[in-house]
Amino acid sequence: MRASQINYALDFVRDAINEAGKWWWRFFDWLAVVEWRRLFVTWFVVLLCFGMLNTPEPAVWYIFISFAVKILAGGKRKAELVARDATLQANVATLERRLMEAQMAALQAQVEPHFLFNTLALIGQLIETDPPEAARVHAHLIDYLRSTLPQMRARDGGTLGKQVELSKAYLSIMQARMKERLKVKFEVPLFLHSAPFPPMMLQTLIENSIKHGLEPKIEGGTVRVRALVVDATLQVEVCDDGGGIDPHADDGVGLANIRERLQLLYGAQAELLIATPPGGGACATIRLPYKMMEDTAP
């Protein structure tokens, strides 16, 4: 019984010390930031109160200690404030620089040489065996390159409808190459075609789906593109029933680029979600604030 009583007392003392420490540091923080003017007022009030009680010693101690702490800690605090101001300015500069970089990265041609050479090889061979098909794939390739190369990117590329159209050019090329191994499904309602949507994001997601999900799979599969509005959020999904995502595979520059651009364009209001549904495959979803008219685009 005695031992437990001692333990109890020790616990109590420890708690009390903890609590006292907490209050002391709170007082310390307050002192560091409080204005001198206010500190003078508290000194005056304390002097007055204790003076009336005829015991001025605690008031004098209070004034002495708070003066000393203020002198010592106040300088450090001021330095911290100045430093924070400086980093804030630096952050703005960094953000501007990163915006520039992200724009540059987005503008950079993202045509994979492998894709380009394979498509050209296909066209070369179709010219001999199936000239009309060659002309069709050739036209799709031009559309695709136009959307991808920055110098040629059309100015009205910023709507979902335009992005869907350009993605279809890419998918047509891939279908000409993969034949029945690639099936495509678009579920984008007509009224969403005029909704603003940043360029090259949909294509990147579709390319990822094919490259990592369907191309390595022997029987191939389906790419499904779906757009819908949930509350005030435009949600664009690209799903495939391919091989899924290897947790050790690098996510590549494509997704990082999308994430960065969404952050710069919409801040915390937009996001890129990647999920693997229970049935297999992978789903990438872009969510961003839905605006009806193109001219209100940021």
Partner 1 sequence: MSTDSTLTPPGAPVTALIADDEAPMRDLLRARLQAVWPELRIVAEAANGVQAVELGELHKPDIAFLDIRMPGLSGIEAARRLYCHSQIVFATAYDQYALDAFEQGALDYLLKPVSAERLAATCARLRARLQDRLNMRLEMGLEAQPAARQAVATPAPQDIGAQLARLTALLENKGRPAADARPKNGYLRWIQAQVGASLRMVSTREVLFFQSDEKYTRVQTATSEFLIRKTLKELLDELDPDEFWRIHRSTLVRVDAIAEVARDVRGRQMLRLKNYPGELEVSRNHSYLFQQM
- Interface residues with partner 1 (CB under 8 A) are 25, 28-29, 32, 73, 76, 80, 83, 87, 91, 113-114, 116-118, 120-122, 124-126, 128-130, 176-179, 181, 215-218, 220, 245-251, 255-256, 259, 263, 268, 271, 273-278, 282-283
Q: How far is the CB of 19 from partner 1 (least distance, A)?
A: 16
CB of 15 to partner 1, least distance (A): 19
* Residue 168, C-beta contacts closer than 8 angstroms, at least 6 positions apart: 184, 186
DSSP code, position 224: E
As a whole number of angstroms, the longest Cα–Cα distance in the chain is 111
- CB of 80: closest distance to partner 1 in angstroms? 7
Residue 217 DSSP label: S
**Closest approach of partner 1 to the CB of residue 113, in Å:** 5
Comparison of 59 and 141: residue with beta carbon closer to partner 1: 141
Q: CA-CA distance, 223 to 171, in Å (whole number)?
A: 9
Closest distance to partner 1 from the beta carbon of 278 (Å) = 6
- Cβ neighbors of 239 (< 8 A, separation 6 or more) are 209, 223, 224, 226, 277, 281, 282, 283, 284
DSSP string, 183-207: EEEEE--GGGTTSB--TTHHHHHHH
Contact 127, 134 (CB under 8 A): yes
Chain-centre distance for alpha carbon 16: 45
Closer CB to partner 1, residue 9 or residue 95? Answer: 95
Neighbours of 196 (CB within 10 A): 20
Between residues 30 and 186, which has the closer beta carbon with respect to partner 1? 30
Amino acid (1-letter code) at residue 296: T
Q: What is the DSSP letter of 159?
A: B
Tell the smallest beta-carbon distance from residue 3 to partner 1 (Å): 30
| CA angle, residues 142, 148, 153, in degrees to nearest 5 | 85
CB of 154 or CB of 275, closer to partner 1: 275
Nearer to partner 1, 43 or 266 (CB): 266
* Cβ closest to partner 1, residue 159 vs residue 263: 263
C-beta closer to partner 1: residue 167 or 208:
208
Q: Give me the least distance between CB of 264 and partner 1, in Å please.
A: 12
Quote the CA–CA distance of 168 and 200 in Å, as a whole number. 13
Residue written as tokens 């191309």? 215
Compute the least distance from the CB of residue 7 to partner 1, in Å.
Answer: 26
Between CA 137 and CA 173 the distance in angstroms is 6
Task: Give whichever of 156 and 250 is closer to partner 1, judged by the CB atom.
Answer: 250
* Amino acid type, 9: A
